[in-house]
Amino acid sequence: MFRPTLPGQRAQTLQVLHTAAALARLGHALTVCADRAPGAAGPIADDARRALGLGADPGLDLRVAPALGPLFPRAGAGLWFRATLAAWAAGPPGVVYARDLARLAQLGPGLRARGHRIVLEVHALDAITAEERGEDPGPHRALADACAGLADALVANSDGTLEAWRAGPWPADRPSLRVENAADPARQRPPVESDGVSRAFGSFLPDKDVELLLAAAAHLGAPLELCGGDPLSIAALGPPPPSARVLPALPFAEVPDQMARAEVLLLPLADRCFGRRFTNPLKLWDYLLTDRPIVAPDLPTVTAPAARVGARLHLHRPGDAADLARAWAEARGAGRRPPILRSWDQRAAELDALLGALPRGPR
């Protein structure tokens, strides 16, 4: 229960669709409903599959909301989603895989009444991040409690997310586990010579702390490209130092070639709840698929998954531009490293074991 927007390549969209395709390859039949991006016309599901590197898996039924005109596109898409879900729910009992807590709280009781099982995947505990921002955590806590009461099993993206839910709303007698993100092996490239440019990929959201990369670039004076901004976030950064370039997001299909040619790959992440506890960066798994040295902050969300797969990273103190420049200079002299693959099929196999163990009958 999560509606990605297509066409699009946000991290949530990539994670949901690649996980669904991998589960389909294991024999599951899945229906994924997607919102239509503003201005997108015609049937776009097949185009979206190709753009995101998804095969034509027969078990994955990817449906995109119809074009309903400019006056009420979101309301119309919501009605379409509810009608599609109701038609599916009227069939034999199945599994609802939910990532949207608000929709689950609203629609989950009816789904449970029809005998469907519910798996909740979480990537944070919003009450904690709300407190960090100085906001009232009460509404977030109430929503998490409601969803925990509805779900049969919990999937968390990181150790910190799992610990927060287990210490908070999740009942101890129901299954819960950490299932990390992954990468697509088709995006691995043969070894090539570096073009001498260090690169960072991804959005310029505040939790990414890309400003720190620009400060380190001024320290080091080495060529740097930040790839992933939208016009507003690029403008908000201001003029970069002479050695750095700030670029819009590349098309999904072009990113692997740029990663493969980089001298160093940099993973920006701020030392806040998101970066310290709640993320499992997709870009980390993409970077590990290359043979390029990786610079990243010394945060548990980075070091724990790297340790589990035996990856060596060049770590720096979070928020410290001078120490980032030190780690970056170290990485530039480190040379190649063995690529590491954690695939979406591996992630799906972990989920498949959970799905197979879901309880049957009323709870």
Question: What radius of gyration, in Å, describes the C-alpha atoms of the chain?
Answer: 21
Do the two domains 5-183+346-356 and 185-332 of this chain adopt the same fold? yes
d(CA 103, CA 86): 13
The pLDDT-based confidence of 74 (bands split at 50, 70, 90) is low
- To the question of pTM greater than 0.75 for the whole model, the response is yes
d(CA 238, CA 235): 6
What is the domain partition of the chain in residue ranges?
Answer: 5-183+346-356, 185-332
- Considering the segment(s) 185-332 as one domain, its CATH architecture is 3-Layer(aba) Sandwich (3.40)
- Considering the segment(s) 5-183+346-356 as one domain, its CATH architecture is 3-Layer(aba) Sandwich (3.40)
Kindly report, residue by residue over 195-212, the tens digit of the pLDDT.
999 999 999 988 999 999
pLDDT at 68 (0 to 100): 64
Kindly report, residue by residue over 250-276, the tens digit of the pLDDT.
999 999 999 999 999 999 999 999 999
Residues 6 or more apart whose CB falls under 8 angstroms from that of 93 comprise 114, 115, 116, 117
Residue 184, burial from CB neighbour count under 10 angstroms (0-12, 13-18, 19+):
buried
pLDDT at 278 (0 to 100): 98
Residue 317 one-letter amino acid? R
